[in-house]
Amino acid sequence: MIVSIITVCLNSVETIEDTIKSVLGQDYREIEYIIVDGNSTDGTLDIINKYREEIDKIISEPDHGIYEAMNKGIKFSTGEVIAILNSDDIYADHSIVGRVVEFLQSNCFDAVYGDLIYVDCHKSNRIKRYWRAGPYRKNTFRYGWALPHPTFFCRKEIFDTFGSFDAKLQIAGDFELMLRFIENHHIKVGYFPEVIAVMRGGGKANILRGIIQGNMEIISSFRKNDLRISPWFFILKPIVRISQLFRRPSKSDF
């Protein structure tokens, strides 16, 4: 089973090499690696070109945002499974992709997700948050539950059937896509109870203006999918995030 792993980036010179090495270092060999660059000007392309022979497709051109870039990667992918690993993320270990694929295949899931660790943007060995997603339960999205997108592996036929990312969104396009797939179209999704990816902290969604915009896009995502959002959503969601600050993975998780 070929897995198409898509990395989107823009001026990511400080982190892109770690991401590339994380993908190329996987012991699962049936990987199609696609990098979609937004026409970087800081040396990112120089690093990407160091690994050109090992990367299946490199696209570098201006785009209108991260979700348009992800859609480009999906369009050019040929794998049976799609995964997105952005330029400040890495996989938890060298065998994680193979184990996730085996879990997906053996259980006949449409998609699989797992846990995520946030680390300090400057010190990658310093854990800031541990997102233990837990098993999905029907209608939990409306109460603030979500799953970490960098851990999401989904069969391409699901994208072909139900569509890709809404490129009009700037922050919550991944939330809307997973809401659409899981809550609206009821794909068969499985929880892989291990840390799949590590993400550096920071980003547009983590500043006040980004949080406000993200919440507005979440509301519009529910409306777009004709789903109800609970009044408790915006109370429970930050409580869950705060609790993640005090959790740490066990050795068996990571």
pLDDT tens digits, 167-182: 999 999 999 999 999 9
Task: Indicate whether 27 pLDDT > 60.
Answer: yes
Domain boundary assignment for the chain: 3-244
Task: Indicate whether 203 pLDDT > 60.
Answer: no
DSSP 69-114: HHHHHHHH---SEEEE--TTEEESSTTHHHHHHHHHHHTT-SEEEE
Question: Residues for the chain: how many in total?
Answer: 254
How high is the pLDDT of residue 202? 60
How high is the pLDDT of residue 253? 60
Domain spanning 3-244, CATH class: alpha beta
> What is the overall mean pLDDT for the chain?
93
- H or E element: which one contains 131? strand 127-131
For residues 85-104, give the mean pLDDT: 97
